[in-house]
Structure 1
Amino acid sequence: MSRLAAAFALALACAAWLPAAHAQVGPPLPTLVTAELPALKRLGEGRLRFLGIHVYDSALWAPGAFGFDKPFALDIRYAMTIKGRDLSSRSIKEMKGIGFTDPDKLSKWEAAMDKVFPDIKPGDRLVGIHVPGKEARFYSNDRLLGAVADPEFARAFFGIWLDEKTSEPKLRAKLLGQAD
């Protein structure tokens, strides 16, 4: 192999390794979240790319093993600008994909998310807390945004990432600590 080809192969290997290594070094949870749920530990984390573009890094925090019957936090650190309304709309599409199809509920949930989700810019952080049997609570950049007090909404929303029927099974496996 020529020196040029070897250098190119090394550069490609480094380029493939660096984003994965970076995604494994997420920050701790915001103070407001750890005050509410001090026993959470990071289970796993991963990066979402769309057509090669870095959308966000995410981490799942839980008090041991993950389960929808336990409290947990999903931490998303955005790498791009996204309107809050677009977050709501995309969330509804993903909820439909995992089997939540009641049009009245979806409409109600979308309106609730529109009230809670801010416009996002690169570097912003959105943390959702799953409160089993009660609600989903949302924080951004260490301030409470609001909550959607509906346990079925909480299951559907966090199911976007954690349901077996998610559109991103590789990311799910990483969040659950089942893949590198």
Structure 2
Amino acid sequence: MRYAVFCLLLMLSIPAFANEADRLTQANFPAQSQQLVLKNQAVLTYLWADVYAAALYAPAGLGAKQAWEQQKALRLVLYYFRDIDRNDVIKAANATLERQQASAGLKPELEQLHASFRNIRSGDRYALDFRPGRGLNLEINGQVVFSSRNDELARAYLGIWLAPKGLSDSLRDKLLND
């Protein structure tokens, strides 16, 4: 019985063992997006499963970390390898924002942002696009589904991936590496 369970787990996890380069090729991030340049990309793996590939775009003349610290234009694109229930995404986002102490005073806008989420399907592409003076757009598969002019909301939400105590220190370090 133990052998059968082990074999079943191995068969289910084989797709999770694709190397990072293969996963990034699958995500197919362009070198430029919305007039910004691809700075870094990485894969988020939880336990043994690749969840999504992330790509960070910033202005050509700035490093990724510099753009984040100076609150310049940024675009974070997530390409999902797995189906994920929207409620699980919202729960993880809220837990991270709470841990970062970044959600104070943002509850109404966070609720509006989260209301625009849908269940994620493998192959979906979510993007957070921030521009100073314009604010934050959330795109799902190329369509803007939420906009806010609140720079504090943009900083807090991008911080889920880019600020300390976020979803993954390893992913953060790879995305902000200059």
- Equivalent position of 1:95 in the other structure: 97
- Number of equivalenced pairs: 156
The normalised TM-score by structure 1 is 0.75
Is 131-140 or 149-158 further displaced after alignment? Answer: 131-140
**Does 1:65 find its partner at 2:63?**
yes
Q: Contact 1:88/1:113 (CA < 8 Å) preserved in 2?
A: no
1:85 Cα deviation after fit: 3.3
**Does 1:54 find its partner at 2:50?**
yes
RMSD: 2.5
Partners of 2:149 and 2:39 in 1: CA distance: 25
1:120 Cα deviation after fit: 0.8
Q: Contact 1:97/1:167 (CA < 8 Å) preserved in 2?
A: no
- Equivalent position of 2:109 in the other structure: 109
**Does 1:170 find its partner at 2:170?**
yes
CA 44–57 in structure 1, closer or farther in 2 if over 3 Å, else same: same
Q: Contact 2:17/2:48 (CA < 8 Å) preserved in 1?
A: no
1:171 Cα deviation after fit: 0.6
- Equivalent position of 2:28 in the other structure: 27
Q: What amino acid maps onto 1:28 in structure 2?
A: F
Q: What amino acid maps onto 1:160 in structure 2?
A: I
CA 141–126 in structure 1, closer or farther in 2 if over 3 Å, else same: same
CA 24–91 in structure 1, closer or farther in 2 if over 3 Å, else same: same
- Equivalent position of 2:140 in the other structure: 140
- Equivalent position of 1:75 in the other structure: 77
Structure 2, unpaired ranges of 5+: 1-14
Partners of 2:83 and 2:96 in 1: CA distance: 19
1:110 Cα deviation after fit: 3.3
- Equivalent position of 2:131 in the other structure: 131
Partners of 2:16 and 2:119 in 1: CA distance: 31
CA 28–101 in structure 1, closer or farther in 2 if over 3 Å, else same: closer
The normalised TM-score by structure 2 is 0.76
Partners of 1:149 and 1:116 in 2: CA distance: 16
1:117 Cα deviation after fit: 1.5
**Does 1:84 find its partner at 2:86?**
yes
Q: Contact 1:124/1:141 (CA < 8 Å) preserved in 2?
A: yes
3-state SS in 2 of match to 1:56: strand
Q: What amino acid maps onto 1:98 in structure 2?
A: Q
3-state SS in 2 of match to 1:75: strand
Partners of 1:165 and 1:71 in 2: CA distance: 22
- Equivalent position of 1:42 in the other structure: 38
Partners of 1:85 and 1:133 in 2: CA distance: 31
Partners of 2:20 and 2:85 in 1: CA distance: 27
